[in-house]
Structure 1
Amino acid sequence: MSSMKLVQTGDADAIRVVEVERPVPGPNDALVKIRACGICGTDVTFLHMGGTPIDALGNPLDGGALRSLPLGHEPAGEVVEVGAEVTELKAGDHVVVNPQAAPSGIIGCGGALGGMGEYLLIENAVVGRSVAVLPDSVPFEVAALNEPMAVSRHCVNRSEAGPGDKVVVFGAGPIGLGAVIWLKLRGVEHVVVADVIASRLETALAVGADAVIDSSVEDVPARLLELHGTGHNALGQTRPDTDVYIDAAGAAVVVNTALRTGKWGAKLVVVAMHKQPEPIDIGAMLRSEMVIIASQGYPSEIFEVTLEIAEHAERFGKLISHKVPFSDVAHAFELTLTPGAAEKVVVTFD
């Protein structure tokens, strides 16, 4: 039987490239040759731990044991084989994948399968549920942004921001910048991005932000007053006329800045992962009657974004800071594990 290479977690902060059997699709499955796969912060979390304390179906392992798991939940590739019962796909189709649709567990996030390998089995291959077909003209590295851009899209959908709104996005990583693109594509009037890294702010302007704030040296509330005009909180105190605050940074200071800066009825959408409980200023929330909205994953957006990414491929492509060949995949993960070394790393395959 043919073999293939696959990336798994190794010791803490390390990967292993292993040889495994190349999957054989059943009658309802498809086999995809991976052409590109992004690396995500979730991958980094698994690498820091050196594995996962749960089995492929989400059950805790005994005695605090860790299981090595295959990585990669942002794959794009080309169909090379389909099962006899699959009618909507054919060899040669370019596809992106819904990692949460696999019966054997979430692809690359604790399930039995991973997208950071030469081939990926699509179990129960159904267009619109487990895979989506996209135009051949879209570069595979851009197609591999489909999953994180679905996360961004859900965040923007949750915000309900419209053309007349003014928005600030904290955190100019891929999710925050994806939110900027979706906000501008839906006609939002003015979008500001705040971050502490100059190169990220440059990318924010390149993908369509109307203004940026270097929050390491600038007074964020004062700059928002300049950019968005004057509003007031429930006590009549002067506040920026910002309608929506998006936390794509995952820091308590961002949440508290939004709470203390918000005008009456403003919204805060939290899409970033906060890794531990943190104190927030509830009193400030009361003074603004701010609405706090959580945004998790992509309940319906995974393929809602696909054709729009294809249409605006050049714009989304600006989010990729590094393209690294699979032959140098260890370096790709080193970049991602090193703070400040890369913004978005995509591994490419021959």
Structure 2
Amino acid sequence: MKVSMVTAPGQTAVVDVPKPTVGPDDVLVKIRACGICGSDALYISMGGLPPHQGRQPLGHEPAGEVIEIGSAVTGFAVGDHVVVNPMVAPSGIIGNGGATGALAEYLLIEDAVRGTSLEVVPDHIPFEVAALNEPMAVARHGVNQCRPQPTDSVLVFGAGPIGLGATIGFKSAGVRHVVVADLIPARLEKAMKVGADAVINSADEDVVARLRELHGPGESIFPGKAGTDIYFDAAGVPAVITTALTAAKSGARLGIVAVHKEPVPVDFLNIMSNEITVVGSMGYPDEIFEVTKDLIENWQKYAEIVSHTIPFDDVEDALRTASTPGAADKVVVVFD
């Protein structure tokens, strides 16, 4: 079978490897779609992660079809459409430095257990949408970390895949009003399509003033605060933190799921005096299949997140497109 691998710093190739043999506790999945993550570009730039540097399989956002089931495995049938938890593979995290990757024709799921390593999705869900399950679990964990309540009002910074997924997640959690801020009009249009109540183009609008219009004034010993309860950073730029803390009222929450690549100055007097909660979010400790239910129920909204579907035959082009700033929002590789 063919697998997309990191072969050297800055280089990838499609490599022929033996098709996996299914053991009694395993399931073999024919990959039908696999998303490309920003971390893939990092692995490529590094030449892969130990111990597979120079030969690291890529791909950790898969959806596929069960084609073979081990004799001891229950809960699956040949032909089931499935999504995968890449974190629990015994041979290492799938596509994240482990021995296997999902940018491949087939993926062996070792010690397969439904609800732990795989979950079945209905056949009507397009594979390219099902492949969003893993990144949307990242978004959902970020939402859960913010402890949203139905009476809350929210501002999501960044209308990329995670920000859009968080927007859907907040609305699915029953939050009354969600605003999305971004610099790119096309992304803001997508935010409205997936359920945002309002958007702010932060390139030409005063974000704090607009929030006060949308969510009212916020209580604080300092003037000019907005009534927004939760600020969600899916953008990863210092201006987001500055803007959120400028607007944040007493008791507001700031959730950070974006990767910041440079230090960010923070006014701790503001955090202390307004008792602002700052919470980080990483991965998806419990959300990998929690989000599946919402993905199934709202798949048309999640479908808006996919900007490009590129055949596996052109996987090198897909990887370049995904790593080029501004070229794409979410690239999903699809298989015949």
TM range (shorter): over 0.9
Tell me what 1:98 maps to. Answer: 85
Aligned to 1:46: 43
Q: 1:343 aligns with which of 324, 329, 333?
A: 329
1:167 is matched with: 154
Aligned to 1:35: 32
Alignment of 1:9 with 2:6, yes or no, is yes
Task: For 2:41, give the aligned amino acid.
Answer: V
1:11-44 CA distances to partner (integer Å, 9 max, x unpaired)?
Answer: 4333211111111111101110000000011111
Q: Which moved more, 1:40-49 or 1:294-303?
A: 40-49
Asked whether the 8 Å contact 1:166–1:228 carries over to 2, the reply is yes
Displacement of 1:251 after TM fit?
Answer: 1.4
**Aligned counterpart for 1:267 among listed residues 232, 235, 253:** 253
2:273 maps to what in 1? Answer: 287
For 1:283 and 1:42, how far apart are their aligned partners in 2?
A: 34
The count of corresponding residues between Structure 1 and Structure 2 is 336
Who is 1:239 aligned against?
Answer: 225
Match of 2:103 in 1: 116
SS in 2 for 1:320: coil
CA contact (8 A) 1:193 1:201 kept: yes
What TM-score, normalized to structure 2?
0.97
Provide Cα deviations, 1:209-254, integer angstroms capped at 9, x if missing partner.
Answer: 1111111222111111111111132x24230000000011111221
Partner amino acid for 2:67?
V
RMSD over aligned CA atoms reads 1.3
Cα distance in 2 for partners of 1:236, 1:121 equals 57
Q: Which moved more, 1:39-48 or 1:264-273?
A: 39-48
1:308 aligns to 2:308 (yes or no): no
User: What is the SS of the residue equivalent to 2:56?
Assistant: coil
Q: How far did residue 10 of structure 1 move?
A: 3.2
Structure 1 residue aligned with 2:174: 187
Correspondence for 2:51: 55
What SS does structure 2 have at the residue aligned with 1:305? helix
1:198 aligns with 2:195: no
| CA distance, structure 2, for counterparts of residue 9 and residue 229 of structure 1 | 50
TM-score (norm 1): 0.93
2:124 corresponds in structure 1 to 137
Aligned pair 1:176/2:172, yes or no?
no
* Alignment deviations for residues 161-217 of structure 1 (CA, whole Å, 9 cap, x no partner): 122110000111111100000111222111111111111111111111111111122
Match of 1:83 in 2: 70
Code of the aligned partner of 2:160: G
Give unmatched runs, 5+ long, in structure 1.
Answer: 57-65
Contact 1:150 1:298 (8 Å CA) reproduced: yes
Whole-angstrom CA distance in 2 between matches of 1:10 and 1:161: 43
Match of 1:269, SS state, is strand
Check conservation: 1:177, 1:204, Cα contact below 8 A: yes
String of CA shifts for 1:42-73, please: whole Å, max 9, x gaps: 11111222222x226xxxxxxxxx44311100
Work out whether 1:126 is the aligned partner of 2:117: no
Contact 1:252 1:280 in 2 (8 A): no
Match in the other structure for 1:317: 303
| Residue in structure 1 matched with residue 21 of structure 2 by the alignment | 24
Give runs of aligned pairs for residues 62-73 of structure 1, distance below 5 A. Answer: 66-73=53-60
1:62 corresponding residue in structure 2: none
Letter in 1 for 2:12: I
Aligned partners of 1:96, 1:254: CA distance in 2, in Å? 33
Residue 212 (1) aligns with residue 209 (2):
no
Letter in 1 for 2:294: E
- Residue 59 of structure 1 is matched in structure 2 by none
Amino acid at match of 1:99: P
Structure 1 segments of 4 or more deviating over 4 A? none
Q: Does 1:228 align with 2:215?
A: yes
SS at match of 1:336: helix
Specify whether residues 13 and 220 from structure 1 end up closer, same or farther in structure 2 by C-alpha distance, changes over 3 A only.
farther
Q: Would the aligned equivalents of 1:154 and 1:295 in 2 still touch at CA under 8 Å?
A: yes
Q: Distance in 2 between matches of 1:221 and 1:122?
A: 48
Inter-partner Cα distance in structure 1 for 2:174 and 2:43: 37
Letter in 1 for 2:26: D
Residue 63 of structure 1 corresponds to none
| Per-residue deviation, 1:333 | 1.0
Report how far residue 123 of structure 1 moved. 0.7
Partner SS for 2:17: strand
* Percent pairwise identity: 56
Q: Is the 8 A contact 1:171 1:248 kept in 2?
A: yes
Which deviates more, 96-105 or 302-311?
Answer: 302-311
